[in-house]
Amino acid sequence: MAERGTSGDESAYAWRVEIRTGGRLRFGPDSGRMLLRTGRKGAGAAVGHDLTIEVTDWSVQVNVPETGPADATATARVELGSLAVRTGTGGARPLTDKDRGEIEKNARRTLDVDRHPTATFESARVVIEGDSATVTGTLTLHGVAAPVDVEVREVAPDRYRATTVVTQSAYGIKPYSAFLGALKVRDDVEVEIEVDLGR
C-alpha cells in the first residue's frame, strides 16, 4: 500500500522515476554502509563509550513497479553476527582493539545471535512527502516482529540515507549493562543505511 503526502509532488521524490520505474534495486556493503549508534546511561556512564558499529553483512532489495516509486516495496536482511565496532566516543580512555573485541562479543550475546542470527524488514506502506519518504513495515528481530518507520531522504545526487530507531526492549532484548547496572546501554539504537546508486 502506498500514499502520497499532501504537500509533496512525487516527481520531486528522490527516486528518479524515469530511471528507476519498473526496476529492481539491490544494495549491500559494496554500494553503501549500515551503521548502528548506541548511547550510554547510568551512574557509571562516564567510563563507557557511545559507539558506532558497522554491520558488514546486510542486503536491501527495492522493487519499483511501473506505477512508480510510491508503490515501491522493500525488504532487508541483516546478519547480526557481522557487527564491527568502528568508533567509541567519550569514556575514561580510548577504545583498544581488545575493547572492540569484547564489545562485539557482548553484542552477540545480548542479541542471542546463536538462536536469532538474522534480522529482517519487510515494507507495507510508503508515504511520500516532497523529496523524502516514510517507509512503514515490520522488523523481525530476536524472534519478535514489530512495526517500524524508516525515513528515506536523498543527501546528494544518487546518494540516499535511510534512518530509524530500534528500541531493544520492544523485541525482548535486555540492553547490555556492566558494573552491577551502573553503566547501561540506552534502550534506543539509531540505525542508518547510506547507499550510492552510482556504485
* CB burial of residue 100 (10 Å; 0-12, 13-18, 19+): middle
State whether residue 17 is helix, strand or coil: helix
Does this model's pTM top 0.75? My answer is yes
pLDDT at 14 over 50: no
Could you tell me which of 81, 76, 85, 89 has the C-alpha nearest to residue 32? 76
Confidence of residue 22 (pLDDT cuts 50, 70, 90): low
Confidence of residue 46 (pLDDT cuts 50, 70, 90): confident
Alpha-carbon span 195 to 26, nearest angstrom: 10
State whether residue 69 is helix, strand or coil: helix
> Cα-atom radius of gyration of the chain, to the nearest Å?
18
Percentages helix, strand, coil for the chain (3-state, rounded to 5) are: 15, 50, 35
Alpha-carbon span 192 to 31, nearest angstrom: 14
User: Between these two residues, 140 and 65, which has the higher pLDDT value?
Assistant: 140
Domains along the sequence of the chain with CATH: 2-196 (2.40.128.110)
Q: What is the pLDDT of residues 85-133, one digit of tens each?
A: 999 998 888 999 999 999 999 999 999 999 999 999 999 999 988 888 9
